[in-house]
């Protein structure tokens, strides 16, 4: 049997999805599983998006242009304008989810051996895509004790050397919910400018910011227009993760021409998803308000609930719909597996994502989990009760002294 490639062996399993077979098995035993592991909102897709599907009158579901439909890219201009982001249709390349945008960005910008700085904990799949590009991740550690704030700019600068090619941030952050301040963003801008780096900025959660602090997009930063690559997706904005529509946006023409070649190789982004995404841009303000209000309530419910469980701590996330919480256990991966394999409370259990998969530093985050608050309040409350019971029963419980 021929060998698997080295990258194939090294690419990590998704910490969000790798326990899925255990959840399937638990369900097979008749146990109800509350999914706190994955950012799959239960909130509805906008009706205008669903209606657009019903109204498709094509007889051929044909390829779309490699860079995405012109009509969709033009309509996105006014969406971004609302956030004070000034783009032209030509700046936008439509991708198969934000995932493909990250992947194309890293493949187009990074050579094997290049280094990219990514704060940790960070979205787990960045690691996978950096590995596919052959690049090395250098980590800026943020800590739960400091609410996952960015460390001082000097810490970044210590990591920069002749191999450093870019910085990747996620803002608001998945998994921590942290929102970068204007001043933090300007520090990053200064570094990017000084060392002529790429700044990859994943901003797919901009709709979900719960503080009064302003949202500073990488596209708001002056003087680094050709360095910035914005990663975007409609998945979370419209609760339509399944349509697989994202975008890579940059003012850098040479980079766009390169990315377009990758786009041509995979032919085109999903046609049906583009139709839904384009229609969803017409979702009424009331849709966003109700979704937003719902997340505000859920956030309070989850964070208050977590912090009321003995030994559990979660900072208050400022954005997105995740939190990273510390649990009083020996090892959260073991604990998460145990919850699915061995535990149930009144026929129910919880599935969470072990946070270690979001860290690059070995051993970091071993006693943390990422929890998504994408379930309705009653379910979150029930899940919190189950988590409390699980922590009481778990044989590997470790209380801090």
Tell me which residues in 109-128 interact with its own copies (CB under 8 A): 109-112, 114, 125, 128
Q: From the list 108, 144, 291, 302, which residue makes contact with its own copies (rule: CB under 8 A)?
A: 108
Does residue 27 touch its own copies according to CB under 8 A? no
Phi, psi of 351 (to 5 degrees): -115, 125
Does position 1 interact with its own copies (CB under 8 A)? The reply is yes
User: Residue 323's beta-bridge partner residues?
Assistant: 371
**Spatial distance between the Cα atoms of 289 and 294, rounded to a whole number of angstroms:** 8
Q: Residue with structure tokens 């009083």?
A: 328
Q: Select 219 or 241, whichever has its Cβ closest to its own copies.
A: 241
Nearest CA to 168 out of 114, 229, 108, 216 is that of 229
Closer residue to its own copies (CB): 56 or 213: 56
Instruction: Find the part of the chain contacting its own copies (CB under 8 A) among 2-10, 169-177, 182-190, 317-325.
Output: 2-10
Binds its own copies (CB under 8 A): choice among 31, 48, 89, 107: 107
Q: Both tokens of residue 225?
A: 């227009």
Q: Which of 4, 29, 363, 400 binds its own copies (CB under 8 A)?
A: 4
Among 22, 31, 32, 44, interactor with its own copies by CB under 8 A: 44
* Distant-in-sequence, close-in-space partners of 177: CB < 8 Å, separation ≥ 6: 148, 315, 316, 317, 318, 319, 320, 321, 322, 323, 324
Give the nearer residue to its own copies in terms of CB position, either 96 or 140: 96
348-377 residues in contact with its own copies (CB under 8 A) are none
Q: Give the residues across from 115 on adjacent strands.
A: 136, 164
Print the binding letters for residues 53-92 with its own copies: x by CB under 8 A, - otherwise.
xx-x-xxxxxxxxx--------------------------
Q: What is the closest distance, in whole angstroms, from the C-beta atom of residue 204 to its own copies in the complex? A: 12
Q: How far is the CB of 308 from its own copies (least distance, A)?
A: 30
Residues 239-278 close enough to bind its own copies by CB under 8 A? 239-244, 252, 254-255, 258-259, 261-262, 264-273, 276
Of 225 and 393, the one with the shorter C-beta distance to its own copies is 225
Contact between 245 and 277 (Cβ < 8 Å): yes
Task: Indicate whether 50 belongs to the interface with its own copies (CB under 8 A).
Answer: yes
Q: How far is the CB of 301 from its own copies (least distance, A)?
A: 20
Rg (CA), the chain: 21
| Dist. CA 367–CA 399, nearest whole Å | 11
Site for its own copies in 152-181 (CB under 8 A): 165-166
Rounded Cα–Cα distance for residues 82 and 283 (Å): 14
Considering only the stretches 11-19, 137-145, 206-214, 378-386, report the one whose residues sit in contact with its own copies under the rule CB under 8 A.
Answer: 11-19
Other C-beta atoms lying within 10 Å of the C-beta of residue 253: 11
Q: What are the Cα distances from residue 169, in Å, to 116, 205, 228, 244?
A: 11, 12, 11, 21
Cβ–Cβ under 8 Å, residues 125 and 99: yes
Start-to-end Cα distance in the chain: 52
């Amino acid at each position: 049997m021929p060998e698997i490639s080295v990258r194939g062996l090294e690419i990590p399993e998704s910490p969000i999805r790798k326990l899925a077979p255990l959840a399937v098995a638990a369900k097979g035993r008749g146990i109800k599983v509350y999914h706190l592991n994955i950012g799959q909102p239960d909130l509805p897709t906008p009706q205008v998006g669903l209606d657009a599907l019903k109204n498709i009158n094509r007889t051929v579901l044909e390829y779309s242009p490699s860079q995405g439909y012109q009509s969709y890219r033009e309509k996105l201009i006014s969406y971004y304008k609302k956030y004070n982001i000034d783009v032209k249709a030509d700046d936008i390349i439509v991708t198969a989810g934000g995932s493909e945008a990250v992947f194309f960005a890293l493949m187009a910008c990074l050579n094997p051996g290049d280094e990219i700085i990514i704060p940790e904990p960070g979205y787990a799949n960045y690691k996978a895509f950096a590995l596919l590009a052959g690049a090395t991740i250098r980590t800026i550690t943020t800590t739960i004790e400091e609410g996952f704030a960015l460390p001082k700019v000097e810490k970044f600068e210590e990591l920069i050397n002749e191999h450093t090619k870019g910085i990747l941030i996620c803002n608001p952050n998945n998994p921590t919910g942290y929102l970068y301040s204007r001043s933090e963003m300007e520090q990053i801008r200064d570094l990017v400018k000084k060392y002529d780096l790429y700044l990859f900025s994943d901003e797919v959660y901009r709709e979900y910011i719960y503080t009064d602090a302003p949202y500073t997009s990488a596209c708001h930063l002056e003087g680094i227009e050709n360095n910035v690559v914005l990663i975007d997706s409609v998945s979370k904005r419209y609760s339509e993760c399944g349509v697989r529509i994202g975008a890579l946006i940059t003012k850098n023409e040479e980079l766009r021409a390169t990315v377009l070649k990758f786009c041509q190789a995979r032919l085109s982004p999903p046609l049906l998803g583009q139709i839904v995404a384009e229609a969803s841009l017409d979702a009424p303000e009331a849709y966003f308000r109700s979704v937003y209000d719902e997340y505000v309530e859920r956030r309070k419910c989850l964070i208050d609930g977590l912090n009321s469980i003995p030994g559990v701590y979660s900072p208050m996330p400022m954005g997105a719909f995740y939190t990273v919480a510390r649990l009083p256990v020996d090892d959260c991966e073991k604990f998460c597996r145990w919850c699915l394999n061995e535990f149930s409370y009144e026929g129910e259990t919880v599935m969470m994502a072990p946070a270690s998969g979001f860290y690059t530093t070995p051993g970091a985050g071993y006693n943390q989990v990422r929890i998504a608050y994408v379930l309705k309040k009653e379910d979150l409350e029930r899940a919190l009760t189950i988590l409390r019971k699980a922590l009481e029963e778990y044989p590997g419980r470790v209380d801090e002294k």
